[in-house]
């Protein structure tokens, strides 16, 4: 199904198998992006989650696709970023001091607050704001110790709460970033993946 082709950026630590399986369940054709040119030209790109901020950035840079990914995001091309993928949009992260993120969002990824389970592992409620296209209210599966608490007004935000509200997802046109794992979030997550593929 070439109309639902999706190129996945390997970050070195991501669980590619579960992401690819989730995409196939909604009729997508997942492929591994092998070059910067593929990242730039692909109809859809996914940046999967799992791993650390610094290690993922190092792998993306080693493969020479960091600049292509940033260009793709800046021009508004259809892109889905999952868990750690969302965090790479920021300028920095407390997880990897001194490491520069993609800088698409002028904010720092911060550790979840003390007094709560870290990492957050399991289901949590997602609430959406006005203008959400792909993310619907529901319950999603999270696996994170870090998160974003702010983003600029060009993004439509969805929220969750774990020791206080944090950003669960960001939408901007055909670009979607999820702190949760849609591929592990049951029927609700598959509907989101399907909605993103269709919106692109």
| Maximum C-alpha span of the chain | 47
Q: Which of 83, 147, 197, 200 is catalytic?
A: 83
**Domains of the chain and any CATH numbers:** 2-199 (3.40.50.880)
Per the residue annotation, which of 59, 134, 162, 183 is the catalytic one? 183
Catalytic residue among 171, 178, 181, 197: 181
Can you list the alpha helix ranges (DSSP code H) found in 26-185? 36-41, 53-62, 66-74, 84-87
pLDDT value, residue 4: 87
Q: What is the mean pLDDT of residues 80-109?
A: 97
**Segment 14-73, tens digit of pLDDT:** 678 999 999 999 999 999 998 999 999 999 999 998 889 999 999 999 989 999 999 999
**Catalytic residue at 181?**
yes
79-87: average pLDDT: 97
Is 49 in contact with 13 (CB distance < 8 Å)?
Answer: no
C-alpha to C-alpha distance for 9 and 45, rounded to whole angstroms:
7
Mean pLDDT of the chain: 94
**Dist. CA 21–CA 55, nearest whole Å:** 24
């Amino acid at each position: 199904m070439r109309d639902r082709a999706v190129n996945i950026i390997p970050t070195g630590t991501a669980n590619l198998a579960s992401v690819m399986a989730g995409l196939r369940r909604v009729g997508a054709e997942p492929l591994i992006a092998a070059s910067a040119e593929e990242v730039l030209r692909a109809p859809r790109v996914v940046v999967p989650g799992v791993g650390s901020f610094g290690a993922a950035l190092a792998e993306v840079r080693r493969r020479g696709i960091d600049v292509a990914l940033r260009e793709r995001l800046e021009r508004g091309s259809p892109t889905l970023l999952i868990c750690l993928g969302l965090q790479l949009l920021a300028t920095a992260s407390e997880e990897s001091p001194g490491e520069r993120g993609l800088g698409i969002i002028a904010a720092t990824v911060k550790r979840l607050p003390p007094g709560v389970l870290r990492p957050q592992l399991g289901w949590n409620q997602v609430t959406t704001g006005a203008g959400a296209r792909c993310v619907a209210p529901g319950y999603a599966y999270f696996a994170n110790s870090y998160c974003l608490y702010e983003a600029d007004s060009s993004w439509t935000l969805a929220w969750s709460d774990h020791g206080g509200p944090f950003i669960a997802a960001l939408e901007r046109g055909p670009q979607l970033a999820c702190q949760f794992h849609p591929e592990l979030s049951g029927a609700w997550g598959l509907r989101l993946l399907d909605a993103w593929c269709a919106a692109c």
